[in-house]
Structure 1
Amino acid sequence: MTAHSRDTPQFYLTAPSPCPYLKGQFERKVFTHLVGEDAATLNDLLTHGGFRRSQTIAYRPACESCRACVSIRVRVGEFAWTKAFRRNRAVNADLVREAIGATPTSEQYSLFRAYLDARHAEGGMVDMTVLDYATMVEDSHVRTELVEYRRRGPDTAINRRGDGPLLAVALVDRLSDGLSLVYSFYDPEESERGLGTHVILDHVERARELGLPYLYLGYWVDGSPKMDYKRRFRPQEYLAPTGWTLREGE
């Protein structure tokens, strides 16, 4: 029997299960645990290799007959601010971003619950309790934080904080070369704002402010309408067998 160091990641393969993105397909994932002192370094390395993080697990698709899931990242320094994107930024100019660390709150969970019920009532997260939500945020050994969005208030110019109800939240990992959007949710009753788009655009700007070249958006799934929005954020690279490659025509 071969002895493995406790610092050496071990990889596992899940059993096939119905794909949540493509009807009639089955997914499998390869995964490993992100724990210990080297978790942040490992998360960085694996993200560069097309993995995504969920709590203390890093995973990537390992489907037997499908290659539709493609890792993508946005080139921040060359980002194309289209008319639609500039319009979105103008509509949401009254919002203020605040990074609060990995600190879950009951207010966040109420927004999370409303978002799931309105947008993903059939999804795998719909049964998450407040404790499940807290675990999703806190159960991490990597550099991660929550970013909240609220309207500007009378004291925003002084304390740089928003005021009023919470409108959107993003869970974000900090990598050596970029930011990785792990999950985001927003007020479903504010649909005219395009808050999902705003969170991405704001993190393009945030990565630029931090001097980081990339924003990682996870997987684009060819043939899945719910994931097609990610192609709008350009220029972007996709992870090919030969490495990260600029998407043609962008």
Structure 2
Amino acid sequence: MTEHLPARLGLSQQFDCSYLPDRQEQLLVILDPSCYCPDKFEQLLALGFRRSGDQIYRPHCPICNACNSVRVLAQQFTPSKSQKRKLNKAKKVFTVSYSEYERAEYYPLYCKYITQRHQDGSMFPPDQSQYESFLFCQWLPVTFIELRDDDKLVAVAVTDCMHNAISAIYTFFDPDYEHYSIGSIMIMEQIQFAKQQAKQFVYLGYQIDECNKMKYKTQFLPAQKHIGDEWLAI
């Protein structure tokens, strides 16, 4: 399974799109159990798939193709002048650490983030079972990249790890620190983590040009966008 989709696939029902309010969303879901391992998931990432919890999916909408997977070429990434300023500002305040296990302090931070930043989204109000089923995975190694102000947890980037790539699943942070551009900082920390681990790609999920909230993903260069069956330079 290097160029073709697995034989066992499912198609979800249509539902309201979370990003484009005038659209309907539908998902192509992997049903083949043999695909649920790091090596085959990495091949599926290269075909535009992603995971949510334990499930692997890809948008397969009937009249829309606005979602395009984006990946950063980690080893060639160089921060822009603006990104360097953000990094230098953050280095004066924060420290970065890594964990292979969830910590009890994550969920309260997640709740604060969702409650203050995403009251209009599908994850509000925050719920423990939804949090666990969305972020964690039983068949794939997950690294939690932590940002701290002294001992205070400020941000967590949930990051999947494969042989040649990492995938940015979700970042949540303390809204009190929003002026530090925490979202951008955590993506650059994921890129730095990929460099340290000699990974080629950092998958950032789906870019939706028509959604202002998603445009930030093309600011980390060099990068590629998955259009049709090809990865094209951004």
Which residue of 2 is the match for residue 199 of structure 1?
Answer: 186
Which region of structure 1 is more displaced relative to structure 2, 51-60 or 121-130?
121-130
What's the % identity of the aligned pairs? 27
CA shift for structure 1 position 9: 6.6
1:34, 1:57 within 8 Å by CA — same for their partners in 2?
A: no
CA shift for structure 1 position 222: 1.8
1:102, 1:137 within 8 Å by CA — same for their partners in 2?
A: no
Superposed, which structure 2 residues align to 1:105-120 within 5 Å?
105=104, 107-120=105-118
SS in structure 2 opposite 1:92?
Answer: helix
* Cα deviation digits, residues 27-57 of structure 1 (max 9, x gap): 1010125857952222212111111111110
SS in structure 1 opposite 2:146?
Answer: strand
Is 1:141 aligned with 2:128?
no
The whole-number CA distance in structure 1 between the counterparts of 2:165 and 2:134 is 21
For structure 2, the 5+ residue unaligned runs are 1-5
CA shift for structure 1 position 216: 0.6
Which residue of 1 is the match for residue 77 of structure 2?
Answer: 79
1:104, 1:138 within 8 Å by CA — same for their partners in 2?
A: no
SS in structure 1 opposite 2:107?
Answer: helix
Which residue of 1 is the match for residue 215 of structure 2?
Answer: 228
The whole-number CA distance in structure 1 between the counterparts of 2:38 and 2:7 is 13
Which residue of 2 is the match for residue 213 of structure 1?
Answer: 200
1:115, 1:185 within 8 Å by CA — same for their partners in 2?
A: yes
The whole-number CA distance in structure 2 between the counterparts of 1:35 and 1:166 is 36
CA shift for structure 1 position 231: 1.3
The whole-number CA distance in structure 1 between the counterparts of 2:111 and 2:88 is 28
Is 1:167 aligned with 2:167?
no
* Displaced runs of 4 or more, over 4 A: 33-38
1:51, 1:60 within 8 Å by CA — same for their partners in 2?
A: yes
Which residue of 2 is the match for residue 100 of structure 1?
Answer: 99
**What is the aligned-residue RMSD (CA, Å)?**
1.9
CA shift for structure 1 position 144: 1.4
Q: Which residue identity is paired with 1:241?
A: G
The whole-number CA distance in structure 2 between the counterparts of 1:196 and 1:89 is 12
SS in structure 1 opposite 2:151?
Answer: strand
For structure 1, the 5+ residue unaligned runs are 1-7, 152-162
The whole-number CA distance in structure 2 between the counterparts of 1:23 and 1:131 is 26
Aligned residues: 228
Is 1:245 aligned with 2:227?
no
Which region of structure 1 is more displaced relative to structure 2, 136-145 or 15-24?
136-145
TM-score by length of 1: 0.85
CA shift for structure 1 position 24: 0.8
CA shift for structure 1 position 96: 1.9
Q: Which residue identity is paired with 2:158?
A: L
Correspondence for 1:48 among 43, 46, 55: 46
TM-score by length of 2: 0.90
The whole-number CA distance in structure 1 between the counterparts of 2:135 and 2:49 is 18
Superposed, which structure 2 residues align to 1:150-165 within 5 Å?
150-151=148-149, 163-165=150-152
CA distance 1:84–1:211, shift in 2 (3 Å): same
SS in structure 1 opposite 2:157?
Answer: strand
CA shift for structure 1 position 215: 0.8
* Cα deviation digits, residues 185-209 of structure 1 (max 9, x gap): 1110111111110000111111111
Which residue of 1 is the match for residue 3 of structure 2?
Answer: none
CA distance 1:132–1:15, shift in 2 (3 Å): closer
